[in-house]
Amino acid sequence: MSDSSMNPVTIRSARPGDAPLILELIQALAAYEKLSHEVVATADGLDQHLFGERPYAEALMAEVGSTAVGFALYFHNYSTFLGRPGIYLEDLFVQPEHRGRGIGKRLLAQLAQIALARGCGRLEWSVLDWNEPAIAFYRSLGARQLTEWIGNRVTGDALQALAATAEDA
């Protein structure tokens, strides 16, 4: 049968050459989140940051047959309270036509195995407050929403302005 639902799903670590596929999945995620206008990433930049001299992040790829259908992009953080590293999941995405097959759960389970193998004390991520299907999915896996924490971000001109105050401090 040529039906992709009959093909096995494989999860593997991303490797050099995957950056264009990862970018396609990032763009699909951004479209789903209605944030396409914010994507300025390039395949070359991803390649450098994932596989260059100093990698800043890692990724897992989900494939059906030889087709990339999902990914999890993550990096290490550190908990001073635990005194141990952690893993922050920046993005998790599975193409809509491949959802409901356990691919997202397999990506997260693989990431949990990586976290434990590396001695991490936690695995964490953020989810948009309107994304009820994702919130329900994460809760079904035992995730707890951290409503007492408010995310903060400095980008663009504000980041430049803050950096410029380093000499003044």
Q: Do the beta carbons of residue 67 and residue 103 sit within 8 Å?
A: no
Q: Do the beta carbons of residue 51 and residue 102 sit within 8 Å?
A: no
Residues in a beta bridge with 78 = 85
Q: Is 32 one of the catalytic residues?
A: no
Q: Do the beta carbons of residue 110 and residue 11 sit within 8 Å?
A: yes
Count of all residues that appear for the chain in the document: 169
Q: In what order do the strands lie in the sheet with 58-64?
A: 9-13, 58-64, 67-79, 84-94, 123-125
Which residues are designated catalytic?
Answer: 138
